[in-house]
A and B are shown apart, each in its own frame.
Chain A
Amino acid sequence: DTGVSQNPRHKITKRGQNVTFRCDPISEHNRLYWYRQTLGQGPEFLTYFQNEAQLEKSRLLSDRFSAERPKGSFSTLEIQRTEQGDSAMYLCASSFGQNSPLHFGNGTRLTVT
């Protein structure tokens, strides 16, 4: 069990640029979640995959955000035309089964200048 891995750890980008983050879940976990966390807040749900199927998306996920999980393994989260309000920590988590706890990665901290 190597844990959930997220890359990059930090990303600084200029407003209007596109960014892509990667998440490698724990290998036997079929469920994968993306959350966003801003300072002083708890994680807010963005989207959820079961295997390769994206089953749920939050209203927070505007049309500038897209996520994929090809072949049900790693996942990518892309933000197009970034805005300063996108600055946050983006957390990925995985789990096996509906009642098991989420295991989180260390997150990708995005700063939009």
Chain B
Amino acid sequence: AQKITQTQPGMFVQEKEAVTLDCTYDTSDPSYGLFWYKQPSSGEMIFLIYQGSYDQQNATEGRYSLNFQKARKSANLVISASQLGDSAMYFCAMREGRSGGSYIPTFGRGTSLIVHP
């Protein structure tokens, strides 16, 4: 079974608009962490935002916020005021707490975001 599901292969948004990228996850572990990464066409993976399973508040980092709905097992990324430079692949990842504590992050297949001027 997929641990991380990103159902939107591609998204388009107008510059300065907000956009939501969906991510659902599957785990029975009560302790886990959720991450979002951005991968521009140049290839580097850039960390954007982190949400821990016990965090009470949704994470925010500048224009990025994470809409964490624990009961629905969703961790959607919201980008406010999109910019042309936001055009990239976006990956959702989860790190579970395991016996042995290796905490290996598992990634989704990604969503391609294109920002139109």
Contacts and interface: CB of A to CB of B under 8 A. Distances in A.
Interface of A: 33, 35, 40-45, 48, 50, 55-56, 89, 91, 93, 98-99, 101-107, 109
B50 A101 contact: yes
Contacts, number: 59
B30 interface: no
**What are the 7 A-B residue pairs with the smallest beta carbon separation, nearest first?**
A42-B107, A104-B45, A101-B47, A98-B103, A43-B107, A56-B102, A106-B44
Interface of B: 4, 33, 35, 37, 42-47, 50, 52, 91, 93, 95, 97, 100-110
B45, B52, B101, B106 interface centre (most CB from chain A within 10 Å): B45
Contact of A45 (B35, B37, B106, B110): B106
Contacts of B93: 42
Contacts of A99: 33, 50, 52, 95, 103
B103 A103 contact: no
Contacts of A91: 45
A107 B43 contact: yes
Contacts of A40: 109-110
Contacts of B108: 42
A104 B44 contact: yes
A42 B104 CA distance: 14
B91 A56 contact: no
A43 B104 CA distance: 12
A65 B31 CA distance: 32
14 contacts: A33-B104, A35-B107, A40-B109, A41-B110, A42-B93, A43-B91, A89-B43, A93-B45, A101-B35, A101-B47, A101-B50, A102-B105, A104-B37, A104-B44
Contacts of A45: 104-106
Contacts of A56: 102, 104
A98 B50 CA distance: 13
Nearest to B110: A42
Contacts of B42: 106
